[in-house]
Amino acid sequence: MLASSLAEQDQFDLTPLADCSHCAYRDTLLATGTCKPGDRCVVAESGRQIDRFFKAHPVYALNYTQDPFWERRAIAAQYLPTNHLRPLLTDPDEAVRRVLAYRVPVEWLLELSQDSDREVRVTVADRLPETQLELMANDPDYLVRTYVAKRLPKGRLFRLVADPDNEVRRTVAERIPSVSLGLMANDQEVNIRRIVAQRMEVDDLAMMSKDEDWTVRYEVALRAEPELLKQMLDDADEEVSFTARERWEALAMEATHAAD
Protein backbone atom coordinates (compact mmCIF):
# COMPACT_ATOMS: atom_id res chain seq x y z
CA MET A 1 0.00 0.00 0.00
CA LEU A 2 2.79 2.39 0.96
CA ALA A 3 4.77 1.54 -2.20
CA SER A 4 1.67 2.20 -4.28
CA SER A 5 1.14 5.59 -2.61
CA LEU A 6 4.75 6.65 -3.18
CA ALA A 7 4.59 5.59 -6.82
CA GLU A 8 1.46 7.67 -7.22
CA GLN A 9 3.24 10.72 -5.75
CA ASP A 10 6.14 10.26 -8.16
CA GLN A 11 3.71 10.02 -11.05
CA PHE A 12 2.31 13.48 -10.28
CA ASP A 13 5.56 15.15 -9.20
CA LEU A 14 5.91 18.13 -11.54
CA THR A 15 9.14 19.49 -10.05
CA PRO A 16 11.29 20.72 -12.99
CA LEU A 17 14.46 18.67 -13.33
CA ALA A 18 17.37 19.97 -15.41
CA ASP A 19 19.68 17.79 -17.48
CA CYS A 20 22.96 17.84 -15.57
CA SER A 21 24.94 16.00 -18.27
CA HIS A 22 26.04 19.23 -19.97
CA CYS A 23 25.94 21.55 -16.93
CA ALA A 24 28.99 23.76 -16.41
CA TYR A 25 28.89 22.90 -12.69
CA ARG A 26 28.66 19.12 -13.12
CA ASP A 27 32.22 18.42 -12.04
CA THR A 28 32.36 21.12 -9.35
CA LEU A 29 29.19 22.12 -7.49
CA LEU A 30 27.20 19.04 -8.43
CA ALA A 31 30.10 16.73 -7.58
CA THR A 32 30.42 18.29 -4.12
CA GLY A 33 26.67 18.32 -3.50
CA THR A 34 26.35 22.10 -3.29
CA CYS A 35 23.80 22.17 -6.08
CA LYS A 36 20.99 19.63 -6.37
CA PRO A 37 18.65 18.81 -9.27
CA GLY A 38 15.06 19.64 -8.37
CA ASP A 39 16.07 21.71 -5.36
CA ARG A 40 19.02 24.06 -5.88
CA CYS A 41 19.65 24.44 -9.60
CA VAL A 42 20.40 27.42 -11.84
CA VAL A 43 19.70 25.53 -15.08
CA ALA A 44 16.12 24.50 -14.35
CA GLU A 45 13.42 26.96 -15.39
CA SER A 46 12.16 27.17 -11.83
CA GLY A 47 12.32 30.42 -9.88
CA ARG A 48 12.54 28.63 -6.53
CA GLN A 49 15.42 26.43 -7.60
CA ILE A 50 17.29 29.32 -9.20
CA ASP A 51 16.86 31.46 -6.08
CA ARG A 52 18.15 28.68 -3.84
CA PHE A 53 21.16 28.31 -6.13
CA PHE A 54 22.09 32.00 -6.01
CA LYS A 55 21.42 32.15 -2.28
CA ALA A 56 24.02 29.43 -1.83
CA HIS A 57 26.37 30.80 -4.53
CA PRO A 58 25.78 34.57 -4.97
CA VAL A 59 29.15 34.98 -6.71
CA TYR A 60 27.76 33.20 -9.78
CA ALA A 61 25.02 35.81 -10.29
CA LEU A 62 27.49 37.84 -12.38
CA ASN A 63 27.41 35.10 -15.02
CA TYR A 64 23.68 35.49 -15.67
CA THR A 65 23.02 39.19 -16.27
CA GLN A 66 22.57 38.51 -20.01
CA ASP A 67 20.88 35.14 -19.68
CA PRO A 68 18.04 34.61 -22.21
CA PHE A 69 15.61 33.54 -19.44
CA TRP A 70 14.07 36.68 -17.88
CA GLU A 71 13.44 35.07 -14.49
CA ARG A 72 17.04 33.95 -14.20
CA ARG A 73 18.20 37.53 -14.87
CA ALA A 74 15.67 38.94 -12.38
CA ILE A 75 16.77 36.58 -9.61
CA ALA A 76 20.44 37.11 -10.39
CA ALA A 77 19.84 40.87 -10.05
CA GLN A 78 18.85 40.32 -6.42
CA TYR A 79 22.28 38.92 -5.64
CA LEU A 80 24.52 41.11 -7.77
CA PRO A 81 26.89 43.58 -6.11
CA THR A 82 25.45 47.09 -6.46
CA ASN A 83 28.25 48.25 -8.75
CA HIS A 84 27.22 45.63 -11.33
CA LEU A 85 23.57 46.68 -11.57
CA ARG A 86 23.81 49.58 -14.02
CA PRO A 87 23.83 47.50 -17.26
CA LEU A 88 20.45 46.07 -16.20
CA LEU A 89 18.73 49.47 -15.98
CA THR A 90 17.66 49.02 -19.59
CA ASP A 91 16.85 45.31 -19.38
CA PRO A 92 13.95 44.48 -21.74
CA ASP A 93 11.95 42.72 -19.02
CA GLU A 94 10.07 44.74 -16.39
CA ALA A 95 10.58 42.05 -13.72
CA VAL A 96 14.32 42.67 -13.88
CA ARG A 97 13.89 46.45 -13.73
CA ARG A 98 11.52 46.10 -10.75
CA VAL A 99 14.32 44.42 -8.83
CA LEU A 100 16.63 47.26 -9.76
CA ALA A 101 14.14 49.90 -8.64
CA TYR A 102 14.44 48.44 -5.11
CA ARG A 103 18.20 47.92 -5.16
CA VAL A 104 19.99 50.67 -7.09
CA PRO A 105 21.57 53.58 -5.23
CA VAL A 106 19.21 56.53 -4.73
CA GLU A 107 21.24 58.67 -7.12
CA TRP A 108 20.40 56.30 -10.00
CA LEU A 109 16.63 56.37 -9.44
CA LEU A 110 15.89 59.23 -11.83
CA GLU A 111 17.07 56.98 -14.66
CA LEU A 112 14.08 54.76 -13.90
CA SER A 113 11.53 57.54 -13.28
CA GLN A 114 10.31 57.38 -16.89
CA ASP A 115 10.25 53.59 -17.07
CA SER A 116 7.41 52.09 -19.11
CA ASP A 117 6.38 49.84 -16.22
CA ARG A 118 4.08 51.29 -13.57
CA GLU A 119 5.46 49.15 -10.73
CA VAL A 120 8.98 50.35 -11.46
CA ARG A 121 7.85 53.99 -11.32
CA VAL A 122 5.85 53.39 -8.12
CA THR A 123 8.97 52.03 -6.42
CA VAL A 124 10.97 55.00 -7.68
CA ALA A 125 8.33 57.41 -6.31
CA ASP A 126 8.52 55.57 -2.98
CA ARG A 127 12.32 55.86 -2.77
CA LEU A 128 13.19 59.10 -4.55
CA PRO A 129 14.44 61.94 -2.30
CA GLU A 130 11.72 64.50 -1.49
CA THR A 131 13.68 67.18 -3.31
CA GLN A 132 13.26 65.30 -6.61
CA LEU A 133 9.75 63.92 -6.15
CA GLU A 134 8.05 66.83 -7.88
CA LEU A 135 9.58 65.63 -11.15
CA MET A 136 7.09 62.73 -11.03
CA ALA A 137 4.00 64.79 -10.18
CA ASN A 138 2.79 64.61 -13.80
CA ASP A 139 3.19 60.85 -14.17
CA PRO A 140 0.42 59.42 -16.40
CA ASP A 141 -0.52 56.78 -13.82
CA TYR A 142 -2.68 57.76 -10.83
CA LEU A 143 -0.99 55.26 -8.49
CA VAL A 144 2.43 56.81 -9.10
CA ARG A 145 0.99 60.28 -8.46
CA THR A 146 -0.62 58.97 -5.27
CA TYR A 147 2.78 57.88 -3.99
CA VAL A 148 4.12 61.31 -4.91
CA ALA A 149 1.25 62.95 -3.00
CA LYS A 150 2.01 60.81 0.07
CA ARG A 151 5.65 61.90 0.19
CA LEU A 152 5.85 65.33 -1.40
CA PRO A 153 6.66 68.11 1.10
CA LYS A 154 3.31 69.51 2.32
CA GLY A 155 4.13 72.97 1.07
CA ARG A 156 4.41 71.65 -2.50
CA LEU A 157 1.13 69.72 -2.58
CA PHE A 158 -0.89 72.61 -4.03
CA ARG A 159 0.12 71.57 -7.55
CA LEU A 160 -1.92 68.36 -7.11
CA VAL A 161 -5.15 69.86 -5.70
CA ALA A 162 -6.78 69.65 -9.14
CA ASP A 163 -5.43 66.22 -10.07
CA PRO A 164 -7.92 64.29 -12.25
CA ASP A 165 -7.87 61.27 -9.93
CA ASN A 166 -9.95 61.14 -6.72
CA GLU A 167 -7.41 59.04 -4.81
CA VAL A 168 -4.62 61.52 -5.50
CA ARG A 169 -6.77 64.48 -4.40
CA ARG A 170 -7.93 62.59 -1.31
CA THR A 171 -4.31 62.09 -0.29
CA VAL A 172 -3.65 65.79 -0.89
CA ALA A 173 -6.69 66.78 1.19
CA GLU A 174 -5.39 64.69 4.10
CA ARG A 175 -1.89 66.23 4.00
CA ILE A 176 -1.99 69.76 2.61
CA PRO A 177 -1.58 72.53 5.23
CA SER A 178 -4.99 73.49 6.63
CA VAL A 179 -4.55 77.12 5.55
CA SER A 180 -4.50 75.96 1.92
CA LEU A 181 -7.58 73.74 2.09
CA GLY A 182 -9.78 76.48 0.69
CA LEU A 183 -8.33 75.51 -2.70
CA MET A 184 -10.25 72.23 -2.41
CA ALA A 185 -13.52 73.53 -0.93
CA ASN A 186 -15.32 73.01 -4.24
CA ASP A 187 -13.86 69.62 -5.11
CA GLN A 188 -16.21 67.52 -7.23
CA GLU A 189 -15.93 64.52 -4.89
CA VAL A 190 -18.10 64.64 -1.74
CA ASN A 191 -15.74 62.46 0.31
CA ILE A 192 -12.90 64.86 -0.39
CA ARG A 193 -14.98 67.89 0.59
CA ARG A 194 -15.80 66.14 3.86
CA ILE A 195 -12.10 65.75 4.58
CA VAL A 196 -11.63 69.44 3.78
CA ALA A 197 -14.44 70.41 6.17
CA GLN A 198 -12.89 68.24 8.89
CA ARG A 199 -9.44 69.81 8.55
CA MET A 200 -9.70 73.38 7.34
CA GLU A 201 -9.26 76.38 9.62
CA VAL A 202 -12.39 77.13 11.66
CA ASP A 203 -12.39 80.71 10.36
CA ASP A 204 -12.67 79.40 6.78
CA LEU A 205 -15.61 77.03 7.37
CA ALA A 206 -18.20 79.56 6.17
CA MET A 207 -17.25 78.84 2.57
CA MET A 208 -18.50 75.26 3.04
CA SER A 209 -21.62 75.94 5.11
CA LYS A 210 -23.79 76.06 1.98
CA ASP A 211 -22.32 72.93 0.37
CA GLU A 212 -24.84 71.01 -1.73
CA ASP A 213 -24.20 67.80 0.22
CA TRP A 214 -25.66 67.59 3.72
CA THR A 215 -22.81 65.40 5.03
CA VAL A 216 -20.33 68.17 4.24
CA ARG A 217 -22.52 70.74 6.00
CA TYR A 218 -22.80 68.35 8.94
CA GLU A 219 -18.99 68.31 9.26
CA VAL A 220 -19.08 72.12 9.25
CA ALA A 221 -21.73 72.14 11.99
CA LEU A 222 -19.53 69.92 14.16
CA ARG A 223 -16.73 72.50 14.17
CA ALA A 224 -18.24 75.92 13.43
CA GLU A 225 -18.09 78.87 15.80
CA PRO A 226 -21.35 80.32 17.26
CA GLU A 227 -21.83 83.02 14.61
CA LEU A 228 -21.74 80.49 11.77
CA LEU A 229 -23.76 77.96 13.75
CA LYS A 230 -26.55 80.51 14.15
CA GLN A 231 -26.75 80.78 10.35
CA MET A 232 -27.09 77.00 10.10
CA LEU A 233 -29.96 76.57 12.57
CA ASP A 234 -32.48 76.42 9.73
CA ASP A 235 -30.46 74.15 7.46
CA ALA A 236 -32.60 72.16 5.03
CA ASP A 237 -31.33 68.91 6.49
CA GLU A 238 -32.73 67.94 9.88
CA GLU A 239 -29.51 66.29 11.05
CA VAL A 240 -27.46 69.38 10.21
CA SER A 241 -29.90 71.85 11.81
CA PHE A 242 -30.19 69.67 14.94
CA THR A 243 -26.40 69.45 15.32
CA ALA A 244 -26.01 73.20 14.74
CA ARG A 245 -28.67 74.02 17.33
CA GLU A 246 -27.27 71.57 19.87
CA ARG A 247 -23.78 73.02 19.57
CA TRP A 248 -24.98 76.62 19.45
CA GLU A 249 -26.91 76.17 22.69
CA ALA A 250 -24.00 74.36 24.37
CA LEU A 251 -21.55 77.12 23.39
CA ALA A 252 -23.98 79.80 24.54
CA MET A 253 -24.27 78.06 27.90
CA GLU A 254 -20.51 77.84 28.22
CA ALA A 255 -20.23 81.56 27.46
CA THR A 256 -22.82 82.32 30.16
CA HIS A 257 -21.01 80.24 32.75
CA ALA A 258 -17.72 81.87 31.83
CA ALA A 259 -19.24 85.30 32.33
CA ASP A 260 -20.48 84.30 35.77
Cα distance between the two ends of the chain: 94
Question: What DSSP string describes 181-223?
Answer: GGGGTT-S-HHHHHHHHHHS-GGGGGGGTT-SSHHHHHHHHHH
**Amino acid type, 217:** R
Rounded Cα gap, residues 28 and 5, in angstroms: 36
Angle at 257 (CA atoms; ends 253, 258), nearest 5 degrees = 115
Q: What is the pLDDT along the chain (260 residues), one digit of tens a residue?
A: 544 444 454 555 577 787 888 888 988 898 888 888 889 999 998 999 999 999 999 999 999 999 999 999 999 999 999 999 999 999 999 999 999 999 999 999 999 999 999 999 999 999 999 999 999 999 999 999 999 999 999 999 999 999 999 999 999 999 999 999 999 999 999 999 999 999 999 999 999 999 999 999 999 999 999 999 999 999 999 999 999 999 999 988 876 767 65
Q: What is the pTM of this model?
A: 0.85
